[in-house]
Amino acid sequence: MAITKVWLDESNDECVSCGACEATCDAVFSVPEKMVVNESADFAAHESEIKDAAESCPAGVIKFS
Ligand code: SF4
């Protein structure tokens, strides 16, 4: 199923602003301080990078559906 939502979920842990997600997919993620999702990005076109970024996030705060 195509990814239609990507968000920062800090309910269990906090983004540590490491920048790894932006390095993986700068079309979707930017880290001016804490990570923000570029809501105008084409999530479906970057699915593998979004999944990689979520798996690699040291804080486990990148969620998608
Ligand atoms: S990889 Fe995770 S902890 Fe690092 S900046 Fe991105 S959201 Fe924050």
Domains of the chain: 6-64 (3.30.70.20)
Cβ-count burial 22-50 (b if 16+ within 10 Å, e if not): bebbeebbebeeebebeeebebeebeebb
Q: Give the residue whose CA is nearest to atom 2 of ligand 1.
A: 57
Listing DSSP states for 30-65 in one string gives: E-SSS-EE-TTS-GGGGHHHHHHHHHH-TT--EEE-
pTM of the model: 0.96
Mean pLDDT for 20-48 is 98
Closest ligand 1 atom to Cα of 53 = 1
Helix (H, G, I), strand (E, B) or coil at 23: helix
Q: What pLDDT digit, counting tens, does each position of 35-47 carry?
A: 999 999 999 999 9
